[in-house]
């Protein structure tokens, strides 16, 4: 097995290849959602289950920070926790997702108490958090590079929701609007850190596998949701 370090362009290309092959925008449930083919029950099920993922993102990022000895990296990464948990003058992504739920007809307590959480979604999300706790911090950061593909997905999703799901309160779509910009910033930061600190072939290979693992997590979540709400599609 070769141990020669991949050059920057080749490393980036291999990372992007993973997303091109395995990102969840190609999942049948996600395609149906963007094409307006979900009934309200299925869309609410997706929102409710995705909330468990959203609420665990800052926990995942705190795990990465706890393993990272480099102050300069922690200073870059820490804003992600506040982006989701919120801070003074910033409601945060979790609150925005709760408003999405309310816009869909779900109560805050339904989401906060995980009343609709599917076992497969819980398992996938918990596996992702544990991955961030257990893996070397540069590898855990590389797993977040699904953000490279998120801006286009968010823009397409927002357009689809506005066109097909007019029964949703428009204020509930604010999460998607802000993530178009945030995902571009976040993916740039994560890619820069990955390129600098995955500085052996072993770490580069681990980073590529980590991104594949994250794609599997997101795909597995949709598998569980698709199975549960298969009868709620047009």
**Tens digit of each residue's pLDDT (9 = 90 or more) over 124-138:** 999 999 999 999 999
**Nearest Cα residue to 182 out of 144, 133, 129:** 144
Count CA atoms closer than 13 A to 131's CA, side-chain side: 25
Q: Which domains does the chain have, with CATH numbers?
A: 8-232 (1.20.910.10)
Q: How many whole angstroms separate alpha carbon 193 and alpha carbon 46?
A: 32
**Tens digit of each residue's pLDDT (9 = 90 or more) over 3-57:** 799 999 999 999 999 999 999 999 999 999 999 999 999 999 999 999 999 999 9
Distance of CA 199 to the CA centre of its chain: 25
Which residues sit opposite 144 in a β-bridge? none
Q: How many whole angstroms separate alpha carbon 39 and alpha carbon 182?
A: 29
Query: Structure pTM?
Result: 0.94
Structure tokens, 165: 């799901």
C-alpha angle 39/41/42, rounded to 5°?
A: 70
On whether the CB atoms of residues 126 and 165 are closer than 8 A, the answer is no
Structure tokens, 203: 């770490």
């Amino acid at each position: 097995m070769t141990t020669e370090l991949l050059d920057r362009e080749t490393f980036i290309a291999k990372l992007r290849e993973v997303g091109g092959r395995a990102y969840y925008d190609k999942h049948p449930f996600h395609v149906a959602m963007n094409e307006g083919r979900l009934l309200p029950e299925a869309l609410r099920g997706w929102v409710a289950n995705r909330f468990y993922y959203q609420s665990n993102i800052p926990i995942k990022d705190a795990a990465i920070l706890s393993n990272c000895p480099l102050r300069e990296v922690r200073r870059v990464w820490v804003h992600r926790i506040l982006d989701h948990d919120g801070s003074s003058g910033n409601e945060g992504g979790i609150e925005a997702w709760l408003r999405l739920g309310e816009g869909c007809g779900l109560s805050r307590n339904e989401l906060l108490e995980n009343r609709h959480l599917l076992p497969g979604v819980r398992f996938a999300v918990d596996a992702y958090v544990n991955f961030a706790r257990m893996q070397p911090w540069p590898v855990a950061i590389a797993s977040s590079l699904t953000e490279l593909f998120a801006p286009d997905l968010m823009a397409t999703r927002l357009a689809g929701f506005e066109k097909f799901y007019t029964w949703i309160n428009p204020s509930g779509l604010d999460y998607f609007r802000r993530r178009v910009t945030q995902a571009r910033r976040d993916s740039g930061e994560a890619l820069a850190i990955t390129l600098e600190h995955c500085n052996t072939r072993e770490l580069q290979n681990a980073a590529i596998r980590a991104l594949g693992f994250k794609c599997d997590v997101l795909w597995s979540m949709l598998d569980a949701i698709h199975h549960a709400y298969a009868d709620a599609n047009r």
